[in-house]
Chain A
């Protein structure tokens, strides 16, 4: 018989006690010192936060599948839309064990940099994050043990994919209320950080010239299929100053040339049927300081798809289920995350935004969001943006980034709950056009992240 050291409400009381304080992660002990020592994070949390069985008093066990029949047992651990999906729309999720080795929740180099640079970040008078010498950030999470909502959002914003750069070959399916796949797109997403870089070349690599030194990242999204949108591409150039909108240029095949676009319309789909917006990317698709009224709502345990979601499909695609046609949801493995920061923010820099608020659930262990909701201006739930992550290893097959097993996102489901439209997409191995997912690619800026590149790649 397993004896509990703490009663079931211990963690709830502990989280409540931390509310409004500048306490960091951990209930029984501070989390990050344990992580830094490579110790078991179980010492930071009581059993009920490390085991779904303990949390549910034995009603749910690792390996169980959560369906409409038993979802009420874990309702508190789910985002509101995930709960509705399971309760009303036929979605199911499978419980896997909580990850105790936090290094498995990061890309290797990023984890090392997070440990190495802990405590070096601070906010400048302009609200931006700076390294001790006043330079741009130097790598890893600037605030690994975020105590404020803005610190948490700085972790999400300064490095999206947590590699120097990445190519995400994305296959997307858009499902209508009837459960049928109405649209399908292939697009490739390129992102490259100009600071906080890891490995040879230093924190800024070659991005020290006048044209780069005020930048945070370059990011291109280009559709490669179907043929009606093939070649449509947009290049976002992000300033390091998070008060400034990125620059946006685009290649529209009809015009056959690269043109400048306004950058403040970030709450609109990029193509018919898509339910995600530029603003949704990484739950931090807009410069951090264009949003405001950040609020740390609470800390709480959650279920999140942060491990075991890399599958052995040849093209890294996922099985589906649920909805009227059995095609609406991906199969996700979720684990009990002992502590998430629940952060709200408002789109103060966007007049006439369709949103009134966004909420992100951020895993305290790796400071990556595991759930993201937006609310309309009436305060009603609008959309969910639910990612899955993991180490890219399964059945003995590994995908490597450098010498280490790749860690990245594997898929996302974004659900417009008001219109019941779902866009779900995977980071595929390869998509139409021959683009392959990769990380830390040499020469990415020249190849994909300039206006010249847009003109070349466009159809």
Chain B
């Protein structure tokens, strides 16, 4: 456990030492600020930060890949993977260390948006329990996003390639699937059974429908299971990739 934490701590400090960490933080704050001022902080509106959380993933799908791109890629490229893998740590500890490290930084990033809750509380009284469930939703969503980023980082020694692949995957989950399912539902107007099934599958795989409940203060096991199984799947795949690299 302590080795895992040592690895995680190094990842977090590594991100704070590099400009990437601060750029990620700044961009996130800028766009959450936009969401906040356009959707939440309106004259006469109720003090509900919900929309800010409901659409938060639209920012994070472009931000998280830059947090995770270097996790393994940079170790491969620099050759440090050799010092890591010849240390007495298991692949699982290595994986968990990297994952927890990135999650730690992710938590710092999403916690920075607390400033907007503070601003809101100056003008009204938001429902703090809803804020809490929203952050829980962001945390679970982060686990999925970070594990996807981790997976692509483990696949290649090129950071940019890792960032782009995870970005494409996250855009599919965050925007594309939902758009296609919306298009299939309204524009076509036909009702073939397989089309309806496809629509449902795509809608289930999309992020936004799962986030919306959290942002309204609803804890639905379906949403929690979605994020956890997704994260578990990609962590498992990353583990497989790590194991397989040994044999090449």
Do these two chains really belong together in a complex? no
